[in-house]
Amino acid sequence: MRNFFILSLLLWHGAASAISIFLDDTNCQLSDNNQSFKTDIRLSPTTDDLNEKKVMLRKKLITEYLATIDHKGTHSAYIKERFVISNSQRNSTAGNDWVVRQLHYTLNVTSATDCDEGYALTTAEFITGERTYNTVLVPKKEIIVQPKGKARPFSSFAIPTLSHSSLFGVQLNDSKQKVEQKLGIASLELASANQQVLVYFRNHAFHFVDNKLIGYQYHRELLPMSLNNELNLLDQAISLETKSQESYLLSQDLEPNDLSTLKNNYKNFKTALFKVDSAQSKHRIISLQLGSLISDMEMTSPCFNFDGKSNNQFAQLNAQARLKMHTTKGKKVLVSPCNEMVYFSRGYISQIKLAPPIDTHDLNLGPLKSYFKKDKWQFYSLSQGDSITELTELGSYDFFLDSAEFSSNDWDGYFHVIEDKLISATLTPNHAY
């Protein structure tokens, strides 16, 4: 009961400070802003009050930390903590010896960005040691409490039903924050000034204007394969309901009367014939729509154009990238209009992939057509289509079949080569970028 009272008070405090605490999230991009706090407290020699004292120490030091930040903004803090118990023997004036037990506590706090909100803790949860649920701060300082599941974000839709009244548990006109709170972190996000598209798995797109959900889009081949391969493949039975409560599976074979029913219920409803055996083909859904879709976005995002300079750090690239992804392992990937994909770990570049320009003619997610240009990737003095011999300007290479194994002072990796021309590459840095 006491912990609940403390938790209630601190939930209000956590809402006021708008801080999310992360202990176990390996996706956090850590900044150079690190602070360390230390304190200690005496333990009773006769009673087991360790957990209560831990709460007291956490409260003291997190309060000290909160006093150092600007409460007008929102903050993500990556925390490492350490408790150590020391025992020392002391003598009294009467000649009796006794043991003094002390609990020492160290709190290290690093400002972070791009953490996985599925692992977010409020100050109250952190202080009391609660790890069973999340509290998510949304506009108007409303606190939504949700259970913590073992599944990673975007592993499955909790409500696997699509209808005019419910898009997997959300509705048209819901805010972007509410959609993310209900569905988890999206696999892909494309954003301009007031327009955003969130893609879950490889096939489900949610379109937003001015932070409001205006439409939903399903397409069997929504994304180009160069992006598709990075994202989670959904293997889940999804129900599709009509206004008259008829139910279908999104992946099922359809009869002629099913086609007319579904076409009258969903926009852009399209099917294709799939072989079910050697003598028979059946219709299956390849696309449908609810609400309105964004067909075009005004983008001014530059290419990354790697040159090894300091402006290739995470903060700079993250600010200019309009297309961001999370891989099947939950890693953050930034994608430039020149199809340069940058992978990060702990705020540093861990890998880059360079690919040929994407053919936008048949893209089924409209805003991607305005994002991907025909520009070629750049890597120092090299660009896509250059001769393999130009690799010697940057380092050494060994050529075998259609691959050049490359090594330099800064990078190792492979370039894919066709007719002695550089086509694509996968490279890892030799030190932190």
> 193 CB contacts (<8 Å, ≥6 apart)?
298
Alpha-carbon distance 337 to 149, whole Å?
35
What tokens appear for 264 in the block? 């009258």
Please state the separation of Cα 41 from the chain's center in Å.
39
pLDDT of 310 = 43
Give the neighbor-by-neighbor strand order of the sheet with 239-241. Answer: 161-162, 239-241, 247-249
pLDDT of 95 = 55
What tokens appear for 389 in the block? 């011999």
Alpha-carbon distance 199 to 206, whole Å?
6
**3-state class (DSSP) for residue 203:** coil
Determine the Cα angle at 86 with ends 85 and 92, to 5°.
135
Query: What helix, strand, coil percent values describe the chain, rounded to 5?
Result: 20, 40, 40
Question: Residue 397 belongs to what H/E stretch?
Answer: strand 396-400
What tokens appear for 190 in the block? 């494309």
> 386 CB contacts (<8 Å, ≥6 apart)?
421, 422
pLDDT of 125 = 77
Question: How far is CA 82 from each of CA 86, 203, 313, 411, 413, rounded to the nearest angstrom?
Answer: 13, 44, 30, 37, 39
pLDDT of 245 = 87
Alpha-carbon distance 21 to 328, whole Å?
24
The one-letter amino acid code at 156 reads S
pLDDT of 47 = 58
pLDDT of 74 = 59
First to last CA, the chain: 49
The one-letter amino acid code at 163 reads S
Indicate the pairing of strand 421-429 with strand 411-418: antiparallel
pLDDT of 249 = 92
> 174 CB contacts (<8 Å, ≥6 apart)?
212, 213
- pLDDT tens column, 97-122: 667 788 999 999 998 887 766 677 87
pLDDT of 137 = 43
Q: What is the DSSP letter of 118?
A: G
- Residues of the chain under the 50 pLDDT cut: 1-17, 132-147, 149-153, 310-311
Alpha-carbon distance 313 to 310, whole Å?
6
Please state the separation of Cα 346 from the chain's center in Å.
14
Alpha-carbon distance 107 to 59, whole Å?
11
pLDDT of 4 = 41
Indicate the pairing of strand 19-22 with strand 348-354: unpaired
Question: Residue 421 belongs to what H/E stretch?
Answer: strand 421-429
**3-state class (DSSP) for residue 331:** coil
Residue of 203, 220, 224 lying closest to 341 (CA atoms): 224
Could you give the percent of the chain with pLDDT greater than 90? 36
pLDDT of 15 = 38
φ and ψ at residue 389, rounded to 5 degrees: -65, -20
- pLDDT tens column, 278-323: 888 999 999 999 999 998 887 777 788 777 654 456 667 777 788 9
